Amino acid sequence: MPSHVSARDLGRLLDSLRRKRPLVQCVTNLVSMDVTANVLLALGASPAMVHAPEESGEFIGLADALVCNIGTLSQAWLDSLETAAAAAAAKGRPWALDPVGVGATQVRNAAVERLLVHRPTAIRGNASEIIAMARNAGLTEQVASFKGVDGFDSGDDALTLSRRLAQRHRCVVAATGAVDIVTDGSRVAKLSNGSPLMARVTALGCALSAVVAAFLAVTDDSFEAVVAAVAVYGVAGDMAAAGALRPGSFRVAFIDALDAIGAQDLMRAKID
């Protein structure tokens, strides 16, 4: 099942992002703010960490896309997330949901349910978060061969559950890890780029969700946008890992790579 997104498409989307410099409103967790803002700036987008419910409705009119991330959740933060998501939906702005830690506590499961009401354009999580969302939606029971989290990464269940989740919520789903799956329910891409060091730097997954939002602002094809975000991120990770072997220096090299990456580098993206 080919992804229908070519290296040429990736280069075109990256160029678009750098020309448009989309303003991405981020309601994201406290750990990820610094690295998320720096990732967006390095790539060529503009971050705006705006979370006050009093100004979200007005601010989304200035922004090109939104990311909502439920890490470091609190009751006040959930109000901010909901208000921002509702404003994005009302104004027709694309938005990405990062369901950090969903499945770990009832508070997080309930938070995700409330945010789904506002119809995210894309959902980006790691495998265990996507599986938890599928379980919460009653989708795992329908997959006869489902073996739990341990069997998720390698098997076809990952693909099946991501597709069903995308169909259920009519959005693009990205389950990222050693292999990344992106699907809109019909089209599917599997990407195999990046470095294990990306999991040794805090909040790089959260920052990817913001990059997803940035790409959603430059094309109406959400599937293509999410594939581009995941591909650019992974190839930048490969570039950084070529010169940095430990997590401290890798973080620095990764930010540099997001600035350096160009269409030529994307020719090496591994996408099936």
113: contact with a second copy by CB under 8 A: no
Residue where the block lists tokens 């969700």: 209
Please give the single-letter amino acid code of residue 60.
I
Question: What tokens were used for 13?
Answer: 């989307």
With binding defined as CB under 8 A, does residue 108 bind a second copy? yes
> Which of 1, 8, 30, 149 touches a second copy (CB under 8 A)?
30
Question: With CB under 8 A as the contact rule, which of the stretches 10-18, 81-89, 135-143, 246-254 interacts with a second copy?
Answer: 246-254
Tell me: does residue 149 bind a second copy (CB under 8 A).
no
Is 139 a residue that touches a second copy (CB under 8 A)? no
Q: Is the dihedral of CA 22, 27, 33, 35 positive or negative?
A: negative
d(CA 73, CA 58): 23
Which residues share a beta bridge with 23? 46
From residue 34, how far is each of 30, 37, 141, 255 by CA, in Å? 8, 5, 39, 12
If one counts every other C-beta atom within 10 angstroms of the C-beta of residue 182, the result is 32
Number of residues that bind a second copy (CB under 8 A): 51
Residue choice 92, 106, 150, 264 for contact with a second copy (CB under 8 A): 106
Q: Which of 4, 28, 2 is nearest to 211 (CA)?
A: 28
3-state secondary structure of 74: coil
Residues 169-188 within binding reach of a second copy (CB under 8 A):
none
Torsion of CA 12, 13, 18, 24, to 10 degrees: 170
Asked if 75 interacts with a second copy (CB under 8 A), we say: yes
- Residue from 5, 17, 59, 97 binding a second copy (CB under 8 A): 59
Check residue 86 for interaction with a second copy (CB under 8 A): no
How far is CA 264 from each of CA 146, 215, 269, rounded to the nearest angstrom? 40, 18, 10
Do 94 and 226 contact (CB within 8 A), yes or no? no
Residue 269 lies near a second copy (rule: CB under 8 A): no
Which of 16, 72, 167, 219 is the binder for a second copy (CB under 8 A)?
A: 72
**How is residue 99 written in tokens?**
């369901």
Q: Answer yes or no whether residue 47 interacts with a second copy by CB under 8 A.
A: yes
Question: What is the three-class DSSP state of 96?
Answer: strand
Stretch that binds a second copy, among 113-121, 153-161, 208-216, 255-263 (CB under 8 A): 255-263
Span interacting with a second copy, options 28-36, 149-157, 162-170, 181-189, rule CB under 8 A: 28-36
Q: In angstroms, give the least distance from the CB of 67 to a second copy.
A: 14
Q: Name the minimum Å distance from CB 125 to a second copy.
A: 16
Q: Where are the alpha helices (DSSP H) in the chain?
A: 7-20, 33-43, 53-59, 75-91, 106-116, 127-136, 156-169, 204-216, 222-241, 247-260
Q: Examine residue 118 and tell whether it contacts a second copy (CB under 8 A).
A: no
CB of 206 to a second copy, least distance (A): 11
Among 11, 13, 17, 29, binds a second copy (CB under 8 A): 29
| 117 makes contact with a second copy (CB under 8 A) | no
Provide the binding-site residues for a second copy, judged by CB under 8 A: 29-31, 33-35, 37-38, 41-42, 47-52, 54-55, 58-59, 62, 71-76, 80, 101, 104-108, 199-203, 246-249, 251-256, 259-260
